[in-house]
Amino acid sequence: MAFIYLENMEFYSFHGCLEEERVKGNTFLVSVCMEVDTEKAGKTDELSDTVNYQQVYDIVKKEMEIPSHLIEHVAQRIYDRIFEQIPQISGLHIRLSKLNPPLGGKVEKASVEISGKRSDR
């Protein structure tokens, strides 16, 4: 097994419990770590034998475009869609971060992480 990472994909989205967050929007970072058997791809050099990063990015982008109150909800949707659409992935870790959340003080980011194995679903 190997791990394939797409790290800190940046999106401007409209997620948050406050009306201001859903109107003005904010910057979010999404990182995805996928557990994948890369042995065949390592031998064949064929994209069809591994995970297509573009497909993963497109899933994340589409889910980030849907306004939500909670980043937990967005992260769960990303997690579910990746497992549903990409059967080569056996394990998955998602980290979604909201930069500079409006908490009344200086906070770099608020994040949620979801991890799991396909076999646990």
Q: What is the pLDDT of residues 78-90, one digit of tens each?
A: 999 999 999 999 9
Could you give phi then psi for residue 111, rounded to 5 degrees? Answer: -135, 155
- Give pLDDT tens digits for 39-56: 999 999 999 999 999 999
Q: Residues with catalytic annotation? A: 98
Element (H, E) at 75: helix 71-85
Residue 92 in contact with residue 116, Cβ under 8 Å?
yes
What pLDDT band is residue 121 in, cutting at 50, 70 and 90? confident
2-120 adopts what CATH topology?
A: GTP Cyclohydrolase I, domain 2 (3.30.1130)
Question: Buried b / exposed e across 73-100, counting CB within 10 Å, b at 16+?
Answer: ebbbbbbebbbeebebbebbbbbbbbee
For residue 50, CA distances in Å to 16, 53, 60, 82 come to 35, 9, 18, 14
> 0.85 exceeded by the pTM?
yes
